[in-house]
A and B are shown apart, each in its own frame.
Chain A
Amino acid sequence: MTQARTDAGAPKAPGAARARPLSPHLMQWRWHVTMAASIATRATGVALYVGAALVAIWALCLAGGEASYAGFLVVMGSFLGKLVLFGITVSLFYHLAAGVRHLVWDAGHGFQPQTANMTAVAAFAFGIAAAVGVWAVAFATGAA
C-alpha cells in the first residue's frame, strides 16, 4: 500500500506534537473477500447478540403463559419477524463457519492467500446455503 508510505512523511497537523504514521483507513484498501469476511464476522456476531436476546425473550414469553407466548408468535410470525429470523439464521451459519475458519487459523493452518480467499467464499456460501436449507425444511414441516 502506497498510502502508508505517504502518511509517514505527511506534514505535521496543526496542534499535533508530531505526525504519527497512520495505518491505512478502511476506505484506502481495495475491497477483497477476506476483508469482507472479517467485517461480516463482526457484523453477524452483533446480529447474534440480538439473536440471543430473542432466545431469552422466547423463554420469558413461554414462562409467562399461553397469552404472552401467543403474542410472541404473532410478532415473530409476521413478515418482519420472519425477515429478522432469516437474517439471524444466515448470521448464525456464517458466524459458525467463520468461527471454524478462525479455529483452523489458531491451529496454524490456512494462511495462504488462495486458501484464505477460498475459505472466506466458502464461509459466505455455507452461511447462505445452510440458512436457505433450514428455512426450506421449516416451510416444509410447517415450522415457518
Chain B
Amino acid sequence: MAGHIPSYRTPLGRARGLGAAHHGVSGFITERATSVALVPLCLWAVWAVIAVAPGGYESAFVFLHNPVQATLAVLLLIVSVVHMHAGMRVILEDYIQNPLARTGALLASAGLCLFIATAGAISILKVAFAVIAPSVGV
C-alpha cells in the first residue's frame, strides 16, 4: 500500500484472534487418520463389488443385510466423506481466489458431503434392517 500508515500495534497484538489457537493441526491429522482407515476399507470395498456384482439385486441385498457388511459400508461412507471433505477443501481454498465464490464452493462441497453420507447411510440401514430378505427368507 502506498503511503503506509505507521501502526503502533505490536505484531503480537495484530496477530491475536486471527490465527489458529492450538487447533491448526487438526485438519492435517484428520486427513492422515482417515487415510489410514481408508486403506483397509477401500480394499474391502473392491472385494465387495466383485463379490456382489455377479448376483444382481438379490446378491447385493443379502450382502448389505449382513450386519458386519452393513457396518463396514457405513464406515466406508462416513470415513470417505470426512476425508474427501478435507481434501476438496484444500483444493477449493487453493484455486478459488474470490472470497464469495470460495465460500460458496466450500459450502456446496460440505453440503454434498453431508448429503452423500446421510443418503448412503440411511439406504444401507434400510436394507440392513429389512425384516425379510426377498426370495431367500421365509
Give A contacts to B, CB under 8 Å. 17, 42, 45-46, 48-49, 52-53, 55-56, 59-60, 62-64, 66, 69-70, 73, 89, 92, 96, 99-100, 102-103, 106, 134, 137-138, 141-144
With a cutoff of 8 Å between Cβ atoms, the chain A residues found around residue B115 in the complex are: 56
Assess whether A17 is in contact with B57, with CB atoms less than 8 Å apart: no
Q: Given A56-B116, A137-B50, are A69 and B42 also a contact pair (CB < 8 Å)? A: no
Give the A-binding residues of B (Cβ under 8 A): 1-2, 32, 35-36, 38-39, 42, 45-46, 49-51, 53-54, 56-57, 60-61, 64, 73, 76-77, 80-81, 84, 87-88, 91, 112, 115-117, 119-120, 122-124, 126-127, 134
Q: How far is the CB of B79 from chain A (nearest CB, A)?
A: 10
Kindly identify which residue among A46, A48, A60, A70 contacts B120, using a CB–CB cutoff of 8 Å.
A60
- State in angstroms the CA–CA spacing of A100 and B123 once bound together: 31
Known: A52-B77, A69-B60. A46 touches B50 (CB 8 A): no
Lowest 4 CB-CB distances: which A-B pairs, in order?
A56-B120, A143-B53, A63-B123, A59-B123
Query: CB distance A66 to B49 under 8 Å?
Result: no
The answer for the CA separation of A106 and B122 in the assembled complex, in Å, is 36
Distance from A118 Cβ to chain B, minimum over Cβ atoms (Å)? 21
A49 pairs with B120, CB closer than 8 A = no
Q: Which residue, of B1, B2, B126, B134, has the highest number of chain A Cβ atoms within 10 A?
A: B126
**By the criterion CB–CB under 8 Å, are B54 and A96 in contact?**
no
Given known A-B contacts A45-B87, A103-B32, A106-B32, A53 and B116 have beta carbons under 8 A apart: yes
Cα distance A134–B53 in the bound complex, in angstroms: 13
Known pairs A17-B1, A63-B127, A99-B35; A56 contacts B119 (CB<8 A): yes
Which A residues are CB-close (under 8 A) to B38?
Answer: 96, 99
Q: Which residues of B sit under 8 angstroms from A134, Cβ to Cβ?
A: 46, 50
Q: Is the CB of A144 within 8 A of B53?
A: yes
Residues on the A chain within 8 Å of B64, using CB: 59, 62
